[in-house]
Amino acid sequence: MNYSGFNEINSKIKEDALECLLNRMVNLSLKVFIYDMSKLKEETSLMGEKPEERFESYLHIAGESEYLKNLYLKYPVLLRKLNNCVENFANFLNHVFSHLNEHWEEIHETFFDSSKKIKLLGLTFENGDTHEQGKTVILLRFNQGKVLYKPRNLYIEKNFKDVTNFFNQSDETLDIIQPKSLFFEEYCFTEFIEQKECTSLKEVEDYYTRYGQLIGLIYLTNGSDMHFENIISYGEYPVIIDYETLFSVQALYEGDSDSMFAKIMNLTRDSVSGSIMLPSEMKLDYEGNSVDISGLDGKTQKLAKKVFVPKRLNTDEASFELDNLVLESSNNLVYLNGELVDYQKYSDQIISGFLTVLNHFLKYKTEFIKLITNLKEEKIRVIVRNTNNYAQFLEFTKHPSCMKDFIEIEKILENLYTFPHIDKKISKLEYEDMIFDDIPIFFTSLDSTVLENSKGTEIYNAFCNTPRENLLNKLKSIDYGIVHEQVGIIKMQLLGEKGLSFTKTKELIETYPNFNYLDIAKNIGNRLIESALIDEKNKMMVWATFNEIKNDKFEYSSSKIDYYNGILGVAKFLKLLGKETLDSSYNEYANYLINTAIMLVNPQNDDSAFVGAHSLLNLLSYVNYDDCCHDSFQNFIVTLDDYSHFLNNESDSYDWLSGSSGLIDLYLNLFYQTNDQRYLTRAEFISAQIIKSKGEMLLSNNLGIGHGISGLIISIARLYLCTKEANLKKYLEEIMEIQTKLLQNSSKENLFWCNGSLGGVLSQAYVSSKLKLNFNNNHEDILIDIENTKYRTDCVCHGVSGVVQLLLDFSVIFKDAKYEQRATVLLDKMIQRWSKEGIIRIDTFEGFDNLSLYKGLSGIGYTLLRANNKRSVPSLLLND
């Protein structure tokens, strides 16, 4: 074939092409050759004293044609894969050179100075994944600069140009740029964008303002997969270099597509979180390993996850060994005068840019919807599975045993069928691509529900709606409320705890002081119910909300089941709200939440009385025979042993909230309810573990009930009251002595239920009353300190509501009305402040309510119920 249009295929081009091919072939065969070398080493067939010399000896042996022939006879699958690799690579290069020849003049005029002759100097092939029979992106190095060759139809980028033009016309937005491109039916040539530093603080600020605008634009076009490799920092411009996943749509999964879980998945995917432009934890496996691949964070990351990597390759000691996975830095990082810029410092600019785009959209919503409606139908890529999953499968197939027989590869790839696609043809097409080492790739078009693979095989009705219909439905639903939610998601993923703000009261107390405690509690309950996703058919209920996944890291996802921070805490509040108001609908919604928790529960090692499967037991006394959750709850009790294996292991946490001591109370209550001796035995077993391990020493510096020694004291006291065991009494006396010393030296700055003297004084008062002990502690002084403290929040765990509940508990323990009066004064002041300020001091993210019983609105509602009727509503601080 004549390639005279671009001068000649020089020696450097040939060298680059050959290097790429050799890398691909080595990647396929390395495990086989290392294994083969190790066998020869065992047989002492390698010559040389040093590992490097014996390696050279192996190269000499393996380089003999007869030896290679026998090796390939032993590994026929490897031979076929290598032949396929060479054939695909040759075909691909022929197409690339043909396209270069055909469009040489257009490339010259579009990307370079047309007055100067251009010459192709070399090729740089994208490392790693190939698609569509060995195709990959190639960097074409010319004497005047660089151009990318992409072997795919990317006309969809023209559509995005129309979108950016719509917003670039506004005086309020900064201009957005896209790389220059030449588009063709099966490939395109694109301007190569070099990473470029910012030269001034103004450029940095403008960069992040534009980044916020891009978050908005990608959100308004259902873009996805905008990870750190797809964004380049080019001075004051963040430049997206791959738009093929715009107008994204999800292939149908098994299960009810109208279920609340499907809706939450859709809400998450269609939110600003779905683009991967914001910091997030992408799960790598089921062991909790994760990585941030967002467009904002591209720093080198050494991950906890370990993978098998080749070591000592120039010796006969070569092997694959477990080592930490390292994710190298990318070109999306922003630099100013050689220094890496911290994107968190520019969160205001990011949010401002996002709001500028969304406000412009809302102002011209009709016109923008018309623009989307009239966009030309183009081909788009569909991501049906995380690419990392494909790569892991392919790595397994390179094992020497797989290179002997395709059946071994098929055994591995059959696992593709476990993915919950409704149409298993998708898995079949994935299999067909991966059998010869390609990463599967799928496409559709804007007005189609047909999914197409790289070879043109079609799967009909793969989606509920076409990509255009899906986007238009979303655009029509966007209002200012949804925009506030998206800002909240940006803040939670960008800033973590720094993005929290207080809860707006809205309609909760508009007509105060005419409302009473019960009315406000009802308003809180109604507000929580109205914001939930409810499945009336299956009697379940959940929220799309924020969840803390690690210290100071949050995600937008389905609400957790937990009693402390999740739906079980809300269920308890609604149960009691229904009881106090005589409104059965609250009880019914609480039952929905219990049903949901039971369906979602799974065994975990960090289970406790407040988090995970065991936290369901907090609702034991509230599930009645005629409740819709009764049968499923009883079934859960029957299978409780399945969630208790971790109790046999030595615990590293003994606190009430997140450790093992709180479980003593739950099993005691279960024993009282069922009269089943097994549960008492289990409570005794847990206490024996704590005593044996000297669990009190881990808690001896913390007075709190939630995380300190006072919670342990409550549990041991309750167990002693049940069993009257002398060793428990002795242990109780020992740990109460520790508690007394802590109270005597307690700080006035740590007056919380969870960690401080509020928990300590309540625990001591409660246990003393139960055991008929003298209570000589100077609790009144501590109470005065507590009441005079200006708490930052209004929550139960470490805020004003916790103090109100403490005073109500003292009123019951000491049968003294003065404590209830003081609680009422404090609560009324708090409500008056709500009315005046328009906020409840509950930490949340903009657009969302904090559901938590101990840190959120449910706890506020519960406090109001207890203040309204402390005899009927049990203590939350003591978890009665």
Annotated binding site for Zn(2+): 754, 797-798
The whole-number average pLDDT for the span 575-601 is: 97
Cα 621 to Cα 585: distance, rounded to the nearest angstrom: 19
Q: Which residues pair with 336 in a beta bridge?
A: 198, 339
Structure tokens at 660: 């093992």
702: pLDDT confidence band, cut at 50, 70 and 90? confident
Q: What average pLDDT does this structure show over 146-153? A: 96
Give tens-digit pLDDT for 182-199. Answer: 999 999 999 999 999 999
Provide the 3-class DSSP secondary structure of residue 310: strand
Judged by DSSP in three states, 139 sits in strand
Of 587, 671, 573, the C-alpha closest to 625 is 587
d(CA 609, CA 583): 29
490 Cβ contact partners less than 8 Å away, ≥ 6 residues apart: 215, 272, 278, 350, 351, 354, 499
Supply the pLDDT for residue 323: 84
Do 458 and 450 meet the contact criterion of CB atoms below 8 Å apart? yes
Tokens of 722: 């049940």
Q: Pick the more confident residue, 642 or 842.
A: 842
- In this predicted structure, the answer to whether residue 212 has a pLDDT above a threshold of 60 is yes
Alpha-carbon gap, residue 322 to 574, rounded angstroms: 50
Instruction: Output the pLDDT for position 1.
Output: 41
pTM here is 0.92
Predicted pLDDT of residue 494: 94
Quick: pLDDT tens for 432-444: 999 999 999 999 9
CA distances from 650 to 9, 331, 647, 688, 709 (A): 68, 46, 7, 11, 19
Q: What's the pLDDT at 522?
A: 95
766: Cβ–Cβ under 8 A, 6 or more apart, which residues? 714, 809, 813, 878
Checking if the pLDDT of 663 tops 50, the result is: yes
Beta bridge partner(s), residue 150: 188
Which residue in 101, 71, 137 sits closest to 2, CA to CA?
101
**Lowest-confidence range among 460-464, 520-524, 550-554, 602-606?**
602-606
Query: pLDDT-derived band of residue 149, with 50, 70 and 90 as boundaries?
Result: very high
Q: Which pLDDT belongs to residue 519?
A: 92
| CA 64 to centroid of chain Cα atoms | 52
Dist CA 43 CA 37 (whole Å): 10
In three-state form (DSSP H/G/I as H, E/B as E, the rest C), the secondary structure along 186-199 is CCEEEECCCCECEC
User: Which stretches within 700-791 are classed as H helix?
Assistant: 709-723, 726-744, 757-771, 779-788
Q: What is the CA radius of gyration of the chain?
A: 32
Instruction: Identify which of 546, 562, 567 has the alpha carbon closest to the alpha carbon of residue 499.
Output: 546
Binding site feature residues: 754, 797-798
741 dihedral zone (left: phi>0; alpha: psi -120 to 50; beta): alpha
Beta-carbon contacts of residue 744 (< 8 Å; ≥ 6 apart): none
Dihedral (Cα; 398, 426, 557, 305), 10-degree rounding? 0
- What's the start-to-end Cα distance of the chain, in Å? 85
Q: Is the pLDDT of residue 150 over 70?
A: yes
Per DSSP, what are the bridge partners of residue 517? none
How confident is the model over 367-413, as pLDDT tens digits? 999 999 999 999 999 999 988 889 889 999 999 999 999 999 999 99
Encode pLDDT of 447-480 as tens digits.
999 999 989 999 999 999 999 999 999 999 999 9
CB proximity list for 534: less than 8 A, separation 6 or greater: 260, 540, 541, 589, 592
Is residue 281 predicted with pLDDT exceeding 80? no
The b-or-e profile of 272-289 (16+ CB within 10 A means b, else e) is bbbbbbbbbbeebeeeee
pLDDT at 61: 92
* Tokens at 107, concatenated: 């490339």
Cα 540–276–479 angle (5° rounding)? 60
DSSP 243-287: -TTTT--PPPBSS-TTSHHHHHHHHHHHSGGGGS-S---EE-STT
283 pLDDT higher than 70: no
Question: Using alpha carbons only, what angle is made at residue 737 by residues 735 and 741, rounded to the nearest 5 degrees?
Answer: 120
pLDDT at 510: 60
- CA 878 to CA 181: how far, in whole Å? 66
The pLDDT, as a whole number, for residue 743 is 82
Which residues does 406 contact at the CB level (< 8 Å), separation at least 6? Answer: 77, 435
Mean per-residue pLDDT of the chain: 91
Please count the residues of the chain: 880
Residue with the larger pLDDT of the pair 321 and 233: 233
- Taking Cα atoms as reference points, which of 662, 713, 851, 186 lies closest to residue 455? 186
- Would you state the pLDDT for residue 7? 59
Q: pLDDT class for 416, splitting at 50, 70, 90?
A: very high
Of the candidates 878, 835, 877, the residue with the CA atom closest to the CA atom of residue 859:
877
- Beta bridge partners, 323, equal 307
Residue reference for tokens 């990647």: 27
* CA–CA separation, 143 and 467 (whole Å): 41
Burial of 395 (0-12, 13-18, 19+ CB in 10 A): middle
The answer to whether residue 6 scores a pLDDT higher than 70 is no
Instruction: Give the residue-averaged pLDDT of 354-377.
Output: 97
User: What is the C-alpha separation between 581 and 519, in angstroms, rounded?
Assistant: 9
Side-chain-side CA neighbours of 467 within 13 Å: the count stands at: 32
Q: Which two tokens stand for residue 874?
A: 């049990």
The answer on pLDDT for 3 being more than 70 is no
Is 661's pLDDT higher than 60? yes
Tokens of 88: 């695909």
At 15-30, the pLDDT tens digits run 999 999 999 999 999 9
Alpha-carbon distance 372 to 757, whole Å? 60
